[in-house]
Amino acid sequence: MPRLSAERRHRVRFTLNGSAVEAEAEPRMLLTDFLRHELGMTGTHVGCEHGVCGACTIEINGVPARACLTLAVQADGATIRTVEALAPEPGRLSILQEAFRRHHALQCGFCTAGILMSLDNYLRQRPNPTEENLRVFLGGHLCRCTGYVPILAAAMDAAKRLREVPANA
Amino acid sequence: MSTPAMWCGQSVERVEDAALLTGRGRFIDDLGVKPGTLHAAILRSPHAHARVKAIRADPARQAPGVAAVLTGEDVTKLCASLVVGVKAPIECWPIATDRVRYVGEPVAVVVAASRYVAEDAVDLIEVDYEALPAVVDPLAALDTAQPVLHEGLRGNLASERSFCYGDPEGTFAHAAHRVSVTIRYPRNSCTPMETYGVVAEYDVGEDAYDVLANFMGPFSLHAVMARALKVPGGRFRLRTPPDSGGSFGVKQGVFPYIVLMGVASRATGRPVKWVEDRLEHLAASVSATNRVTVLDAAVDADGRVRALAWDQVEDVGAHIRAPEPATLYRMHGNLTGAYDIRHVSVRNRVVLTNKAPTGLNRGFGGPQVYYALERLMQRIAIELGLDPVEVIRRNLIPSGAFPYKTATGATLDSGDYAKAFENALADGGFAALREKQKEARAQGRVYGIGLTAAVEPSVSNMGYITTVLTPEERRKAGPKNGAQATATVALDPLGGVSVHVASVPQGQGHRTVLAQIVADALGLKPADIRVITEMDTARDAWSIASGNYSSRFAAATGGAAHLAAGKIKAKLARIAGAQLNVAANEVEFADGKARARGNPDNAVAFSRLAAASHWSPGLVPVENQALRETVFWTPPELTPPSANDEINSSLCHAFIFDFCGVEIDRTTCAVRIDKYVTMHDCGRILHPGMVAGQITGGFAHALGAALYEEYAYGPDGSFLTGTFADYLVPTAMEVPNPVILHLETPSPFTPLGTKGVGEGNCMSTPVCIANAVADALGVAEINLPLSPAKIAAHLHGAERTPRKPQAKPVAGKGRTLHGSGQAQAAAPPQAVWAMLLDPKTLAAIIPGCHGVERLSDTHFRAEVTLGVGPVTGRYKADIVLSDLTAPKAVTLTGVVTGALGNGGGTGRITLAATDDGGTTLAYEYDAEVGGKVAAIGGRLLDGAARIVIRQFFAALARHTGGKKPGYLARLFGRGA
């Protein structure tokens, strides 16, 4: 990694949801702030800025990561997916998103982006999760509205439907 | 002529969800700001109680990008104190003036070009504090010898009132039994995932404020804010964003920051944006009150409760911030719970302590009241040798007694408590749970069952808070009462229907339910109705009761929307009647048409009818013109407190009966919820999916309150739970799936028969779990949260004294750290000694050191950067050496201060020569830490301190025996 000067802004380039993006950031700028305020991608939310709540979870090079614990300059050259990438086309929801809507697995929707990003990744790695697997996995996210019960139900339902229609994953 | 309801009662998919699921939500921080908007960061007090001696802000003011630094002195020039809800000579400013009274209290606001620059400048501000003793415990605060927070008061007691209903004294005197409980309800908060946010703009030309904030109401606070900003209500425009990331009451507490940012905008002449961070939120937003309650019951031999005596000491923190002390009075009308008890005495005291001010939080007063009442009901059963189920059964308000007027003045609108109770026992499998407990206990397992009956009030009477005043004071102030709800239904020129409300949702799905309600009224589909819930006080219909609190949406706002749609419908029916040649009362609305009853072919399209008053008003009589109807609805049942202090504190009262089985692990002392059954009668249900969501969500909050969550303060008032790693909220791992049962007894007082449901489990569940744990452990006194450490004390007795003697924590001091260790240096003691006294060497070996200044032979000053967990900060350290025995031992006493906290400690270092010419350094230290550092990481501190100290000695050892012979030789030369 090149040595960066704290005093100035640096050009950061990466692939975001399939498109090349670039903007400038001081080395200390968080990736959350960079995505939200420099690139205008406000779907990724900031709930705690200390890596506990999981609201800011995105996918960096195919791995779920806390954007609030990542510096923008660390993302240079990476491939990043955010919640804005999940829907297959405008006006249509993915199977996972549909399951969340059907099961009322969100209320305020603030934590939802991070949970969707985690689950989207997990269900691709583990298409056959048990409820217990999902419960443990979701343990890395905080939601204060739903009590998690409908989130688990939506995740189980989505897993089942994704197995039935793998092409739509 | 009402059309049968079709959409209400169905769990339709929410209109809110598509945007939220695809990252297109419009939360406050997602909305752009006007070019030139500045960003604020707040310097907050690291002390629980201190006098502010001096603030040196010039370096911060001169930093590039900084527009202004505002201190209490600047702010108080531009605003007035927030009004205080009790008659006491105290003020409540949105920023500290001469004193700080809790950790996290704002001390200065930096306004700068970006948040990063503003936070940098916060670190440049130096504040001289003179620390004062703090009072943290509410009972201790009553002692007049304790430190006083507000000099206007002689002590810390801000309000005291006593009440008497019926003949409690006589009833107690003749009672067969007197049963008593004492409880200490802890501080906790529902911590919404999105924190506070404000964008404020002052228009100097019009002397007016325009503020966007994720405020949730009640809009009675609009008056408080306008008065604080010293403008008439019309010059204080308050808007809310379309989406808000949860609130649970907590976002009421953004209002002092609205005033503060309004002032910041006025001072800088630019719009100012502030978004709270999580540490600020946990330390200084609002929490529920903590409360100490002594509750006594006069009981017949068969367990029938005849009288209650309440003694409540409410801790509202460092200020009585509006609408406090409302938490204490919200439940006043229903202090007898679900029971038929005619004699009640109440003593209510409100005290101030050095903790963050309290405010709205889901359950609002209910958790505190039911914790006492339902612990008492269990104790009555145990002390009288009765079955707890039977004690509840015998005391429930009988079926057929509704509407029932309680002793303290509430009218319980409807219900069949006995039926709901029996249904829950039968359908929830209570008998089987008892069997399971028997089996578990036979196997030696620790298993308990808890029960709770509760009445869940909703739609608060805006006058209940005036019960804190005496009847005489109320007469002077004028009566307060009611709960104005409002909704507007409008028709557009294409015949579309829109609904505007002042309900300010934070994720509850109001838009979906309002579309259902209005679609039902007009014979349309929910998709035909466009609902707008973002609010603008300059354009929308609203009143003081507007907002999203006291579970008022379904009953009050939903009802108002139903009434507004009904008014539009009545006018449309007259227009349609004229067109269809039938009487207006023969017109029915269904399938997007208005049609003659019994002759569906004689019909007109709804959209055509709805557009008529726009396009051809000449053809529509004026009184029938249907364009836009706004309804204000306030229930006549919500009257002011009577001369005898009777108060109908809420319009609706739902019934809850919960029971649960818990098992406690003997080794880990963790509580596992084996089964949880919750029965609700919340009146008519409009959307079963959302009602289930409110119940499971409230249940999860309550589970957190029962087992994990507490805003913890050290004895010195330092705040100890400033991250989500310290303030533990439940995850999917901890929350089981409760069994939810319903009975539907419509409320006769609301337009749709609905009642609130959102807060009930926050009232019933904490005590239900505690009752189960008390049953499992066989203990009488038990307080939340039920942490493994507390349960271990019951299961295994007091913890054994550790083999190594440890220094006792000093009373009144903060979080204490102890440690000791050893290091080996290659140099002999004399050389090491010289290094320890040499500023240059110290600068080289102290971790993160920027330089050491020698003030005298035994007094050093150092600047260091230290990181603890996620928080890295720069500190000034003052170190004094004493008890010097060269070259054998020295005592270091240090005080460390910085923006992130403060600390002090003492360490003793001893040097002993080893056989190979080296030195063994042994050290032992005691330290105390306060401020932000203490808040962010109780758990991280000990480890961090140990590492820093180990690094110091390792560096010292490296210095003496490392790979730099030249340097070492020089050192030896000097040391010898």
CB contact under 8 A, A50 and B870: yes
**The token pair that represents B392 in the structure block:** 């509840």
Q: Is A49 a residue whose pLDDT tops 50?
A: yes
User: Is the distance from CB of B93 to CB of B322 less than 8 angstroms?
Assistant: no
- Contact in structure between A12 and A77 (CB atoms under 8 Å): no
Given 3.40.50.720, 3.30.365.10, 3.40.47.10, 3.40.50.800, which CATH number is that of B141-188+287-467+639-795?
3.30.365.10
Q: Give pLDDT tens digits for B118-149.
A: 999 999 999 999 999 999 999 999 998 999 99
* CA nearest to B709, candidates A142, A113, A45: A142
pLDDT tens column, B223-258: 999 999 999 999 999 999 999 999 999 999 999 999
Residues of B in contact with A53 (CB under 8 A): 193, 278, 724
Cα angle, residue B438 at apex, residues B434 and B442 outer, rounded to 5°: 170
Q: Write out pLDDT tens, residues A129-139.
A: 999 999 999 99
- Please report the pLDDT score of residue B906 as a whole number: 84
Query: Is residue B870's pLDDT more than 70?
Result: no
Q: Does the pLDDT at position A44 exceed 50?
A: yes
CB contact under 8 A, B193 and A107: no
State how far residue A155 is from chain B, nearest Cα, in angstroms: 12
3-state SS, residue B744 = coil
Q: What residues in B contact A150, CB-CB < 8 Å? A: 692-693, 696
**Three-state DSSP class for B616?**
coil
pLDDT at B561: 98
In B, which residues are within 8 Å of A152 by CB distance? Answer: 732
- Interface residue B365 vs chain A (CB under 8 A): no
Query: Is A24 part of the contact surface with chain B (CB cutoff 8 Å)?
Result: no
CB neighbours of B350 closer than 8 A, spacing ≥ 6?
B86, B157, B158, B159, B160, B314, B316, B320, B324, B325, B328, B468
What average pLDDT score do residues B551-556 get? 97
Q: SS3 for B786?
A: coil
What are the domain boundaries of chain B?
33-132+190-284, 141-188+287-467+639-795, 484-633, 815-975
- ipTM score over 0.90, yes or no: yes
- Please judge whether B193 and A135 are an interchain contact, meaning their C-beta atoms are less than 8 angstroms apart: no
Report the pLDDT averaged over residues B266-273.
98
Q: Which CATH number applies to B484-633?
A: 3.30.365.10
pLDDT of residue B854: 85
Domain extent listing, chain A: 10-85, 95-164
Q: Tell me: pLDDT of B943 over 80.
A: no
CATH number belonging to domain A10-85:
3.10.20.30
Asked whether the predicted pLDDT for residue B188 surpasses 70, the reply is yes
Q: What whole-number distance in Å separates Cα of residue B901 and Cα of residue B276?
A: 19
- Looking at residues B434-458, what average pLDDT do you find? 98
Question: According to the model, what pLDDT value does residue B172 have?
Answer: 98
- What's the gap in Å between the CA of B278 and the closest CA on chain A? 5
User: Do the Cβ atoms of B194 and A45 come within 8 Å?
Assistant: yes
Question: How many other CB atoms sit within 10 Å of the CB of residue B331?
Answer: 27
With CB atoms and an 8 Å threshold, state whether B507 touches A108. Answer: yes
Q: In terms of pLDDT, which residue wins out, B416 or B912?
A: B416
Asked if A68 reaches chain B (Cβ–Cβ under 8 Å), the answer is no
Q: Which of B14, B16, B17, B553 to mutate to test the interface with A (most CBs of A within 10 A)?
A: B17
Q: Do B193 and A139 touch (CB under 8 A)?
A: no
Interface of B with A in 751-790 (CB under 8 A): none
Compare all CA atoms of chain A with the CA of B277 and give the residue at the minimum distance: A48
Tokens 């990694």 locate to: A1
User: Residue B771: what are its φ and ψ, rounded to 5°?
Assistant: -65, -40
**Which residues of chain B neighbour A88 with C-beta distances below 8 Å?**
none
A36–B29 CB contact, under 8 Å: yes
Question: Which tokens go with B118?
Answer: 């503003």
Answer yes or no: are the C-beta atoms of B388 and B657 closer than 8 Å. no
CATH superfamily of A95-164: [2Fe-2S]-binding domain (1.10.150.120)
- Chain B neighbours among A 3-22 (CB < 8 Å)? none
Which of A145, A156, A157 is best to mutate for the B interface (most B CBs within 10 A)?
A: A145
Q: Using CA atoms, how far apart are residues B712 and B936, in angstroms rounded to an integer?
A: 12
Beta pairing partners, B660: B450, B676
Give the pLDDT band (50/70/90) at residue A165: confident
Cβ-based contacts of B678 with chain A (< 8 Å) = none
Q: What is the pLDDT of residue B950?
A: 77
Cross-chain Cβ contact A47/B193 below 8 Å: yes
Q: Could you tell me if B967 lies within 8 Å of chain A, comparing CB atoms?
A: no
Q: Is A118 on the interface with B (CB under 8 A)?
A: no
Other CB atoms within 10 A of residue B524 CB: 24
Q: What is the CATH number of domain B815-975?
A: 3.30.530.20
The answer, for B939 touching chain A at a CB cutoff of 8 Å, is no
Across the A:B interface, residue pairs with CB atoms under 8 Å apart total 178
Q: Does A152 touch chain B (CB under 8 A)?
A: yes
Q: What is the spatial distance between Cα B277 and Cα B291, in angstroms, rounded to a whole number?
A: 27
Q: Which residues of A touch B512 (CB under 8 A)?
A: none
Distance from CA of B707 to the nearest CA of A (A): 15
Give percent of chain B with pLDDT exceeding 70: 95
- The answer to whether B39 touches B114, Cβ cutoff 8 Å, is yes
DSSP codes, B644-693: T-----EEEEEEEEEEEEEEE-TTT--EEEEEEEEEEE-BS-S-HHHHHH
Residue A146: closest C-alpha in chain B: B697
Of B20, B190, B690, the CB nearest to A144: B190
Q: Beta strand A10-16 with A19-25: parallel, antiparallel or unpaired? A: antiparallel
How far apart CA B518 and CA B508 sit, in angstroms, is 17
Residues 440-469 of B with CB under 8 A from A: none
Distance of residue A164 Cα from the nearest chain B Cα, in angstroms: 22
Closest CA to B109 of B263, B227, B246, B224: B263
**DSSP string for residues in B57-81:** -HHHHHSTTEEEEEEHHHHHHH--P
State whether B192 and A108 contact (CB < 8 Å).
yes
Q: Which CATH superfamily is domain B33-132+190-284 in?
A: Aldehyde oxidase/xanthine dehydrogenase, a/b hammerhead (3.90.1170.50)
Interface of B with A in 110-169 (CB under 8 A): 116
pLDDT for B939 beyond 70: no
Whole-number Å distance between alpha carbons of B512 and B527: 9
Return d(Cα B535, Cα B766) in angstroms, integer.
Answer: 34
Name the B residues in 723-752 with CB < 8 Å from any A CB: 723-725, 729, 731-733, 735, 737-738
| Model confidence at B280: pLDDT above 70 | yes
Contact B410, B647 (CB under 8 A): yes
Residue B957 has pLDDT above 90, yes or no: no
Sign of dihedral through CA atoms B100, B104, B106, B110? positive
Mean pLDDT of A108-127: 98
